[in-house]
Structure 1
């Protein structure tokens, strides 16, 4: 959701739900190689506000990661449909995973908070997206965060931000309309463009706190982040 502290969530890396895909040495080694070479990442201000496929520094990082296609990402995300939170608004594997990553401490320091345990009952739509990228070994080119606004800004700064609802794109919604990143309230994955002003998506923390497949009007979309996928 919108306020940083409302995007705090957890999920034990060892807790995999059905269909969890690439784990182990291949994904871990690829991430380690990529994250050991930070020259491939930038957060330069004033990056273009649309997709620039040949300019993104994430392309360099992608060369050192597992080759993952958009359909593989969607298969994993859709395999989680039906996973739900507990009555306190937490307790998903995505919460547990996030709280046990170094990223949780980084975002806690950035957004404010006393302990990573605060992520345990926070809004988890972006933790779900981040979990999918981590499970498939491509978090350096998908990004990982608990705050949707910061995650969208990361895509934009890395020149992987645009307006086309392509399959596998990370879609950022703003219920009040507008294209300002600070209007963002929610995030998920695009399954397909329905061609009628709507898109089919798979999202976490929707429908009363579940992973669900939804149909959304494109009028509610602030923009799309494009992870680097194999073709």
Structure 2
């Protein structure tokens, strides 16, 4: 049945659909990409994390903090997680069955600069923006040379946390 008002008949609209995985990934990448060029510490990301977890994080290494902040901005932090210590974050993904070695757009990428393949050796994280046919990736990373930047990498990758 159609409802009427003084302006004439109206139609009830359907409930909004929940966001798709692709739209959630796009929101995360938009939040992160909008920060490219930000540098220094403390910064907006470490201040946000310090409010959550304590002032010791104001000057902490902030690659993972940046990713968690971007997830908060995009409204996906509950599924992305909130960690500052990258090995713990990678273990969290593994414990949830959401860890792997195949890159995907939007996945959280974890690196070991020493070239190891153990989650215990991870010392950096970012967000996969693009996957290339040769297996390399472009990612958006915080605290990469002290700033937020887009980088292209093919080595030192330990694995990926899948959240979407």
After TM superposition, the score normalised by the length of structure 1 is 0.60
**Which residue, 131, 134, 140 being the options, matches 2:78?**
140
Label 1:179 to 1:80 Cα distance change in 2 as closer, same or farther (>3 A). Answer: same
What do the CA deviations read for 1:73-115 (whole angstroms, capped 9, x no partner)? 1111111101111xxxx221000000111xx1xxxxxxxxxxx
1:118 aligns with 2:118: no
State the match for 2:35 in structure 1: 80
SS of match in other structure, 1:178: coil
Residue ranges of structure 2 left out of the alignment (5+ in a row): 1-17
Which of residues 108, 111, 115 in structure 2 aligns to 1:170? 108
| Structure 1 equivalent of residue 131 of structure 2 | 193
Q: What displacement does 1:66 show?
A: 6.1
Distance (whole Å) between structure 2 residues aligned to residue 194 and residue 122 of structure 1: 32
* Bigger strand fraction: 2
Aligned residues: 145
What is the DSSP-based 3-state SS (H/G/I as helix, E as strand, rest coil) of the residue aligned with 1:195?
coil
Residue 152 of structure 2 is aligned to residue 215 of structure 1: yes
Structure 1 stretches lacking a partner, 5+ long: 1-64, 105-115
Query: Secondary structure, in 3 states, of the residue corresponding to 2:158?
Result: strand
Partners of 2:51 and 2:74 lie apart in 1 by 17
Q: 2:144 and 2:76 mapped to 1: Cα distance?
A: 24
Greater CA radius of gyration, 1 or 2? 2
My pick for the range that moved more, 176-185 or 155-164, is 176-185
Q: TM-score, normalised by structure 2?
A: 0.83
Confirm or deny: 8 A CA contact 1:66 1:137 kept in the other structure: no
Question: What is the CA distance between 1:196 and its match in structure 2?
Answer: 2.3
